Amino acid sequence: MLFDSHAHVDDKRFDADRAEVIARLAAGGVTGFLNVGADMASSARSLTLAEQYDNIYAAVGVHPHDAKDVRESDYDQLAAWAAHPKVVAIGETGLDYYYNLSPREVQQRIFIRHLDLARQLDLPFIIHDRDAHGDVLAIIKKEAKGLRGVFHCFSGSLEMAREVIKLGFYVSLAGPVTYPNAAKLKEVAASVPLERLLIETDSPYLTPQPHRGRRNEPAHVRYVAETIAALRGLSLEQVAAATAANARELFRLP
């Protein structure tokens, strides 16, 4: 059975049919998903969603896009939310130098504060890294020793993936691995240790190839798993079982 380790089903694009989207999980062989906060409002919505469904869990945190809006009191609120048993991670957090919607030095400071929070609460963290590989790795090496975490929607090279795994972290692959021109990601998918691999949709974004151009949803994580299975010469069931077990291990799920 599949587990989607990163989704945003609280997003307004699901307002019209959220219950139906969640109901489609079982038909696709998906046991559940982790709904990930991107700012304070979406973190609150993620927790509310997790409270409503047994098979949905939440992560709370502030995306680098919104780092400029973080207030000191927000850390207390994140910690309070994280005390809830359905909150299993801090994030997403990290650096995004593609859009630079927050100043880079602010992104870096907020990223480090999230890592401090993960350490204090003994929770894993979820990293967003876009066009910022060098700085993300530098911060991780300095600030995240002994912590657990995952590079969500991994976009680096195989060499970077190996370095991330050597540091003790997981790599998560999303819809782009299914795209025909994604040679670099396919190399990562075929080569990294299966015990360090997660799968995700990042719904409603990054829809896999068969549905590309339309809204993504957690049931589509199956296409990510099928692509990885084909690249590795494994069955879908083997990839599903391994990645779901990895998610349980990282996020300490039941």
Whether 152 has a binding-site annotation, put simply, is yes
User: Binding residue per annotation — 92?
Assistant: yes
CA distances from 181 to 86, 104, 107, 139, 209 (A): 37, 30, 30, 30, 11
In DSSP notation, 184-206 reads HHHHHHHHS-GGGEEE---BTSS
Establish whether 202 is an annotated binding residue: yes
At 88 the three-state DSSP class reads: strand
Residue 220, annotated ligand binder?
no
User: What is the number of alpha carbons within 13 Å of residue 59 lying toward its C-beta?
Assistant: 34
C-alpha closest to that of 175 among 199, 139, 141: 199
Annotated binding-site members: 6, 8, 92, 128, 152, 202
Annotated binding-site members for a divalent metal cation: 6, 8, 92, 128, 152, 202
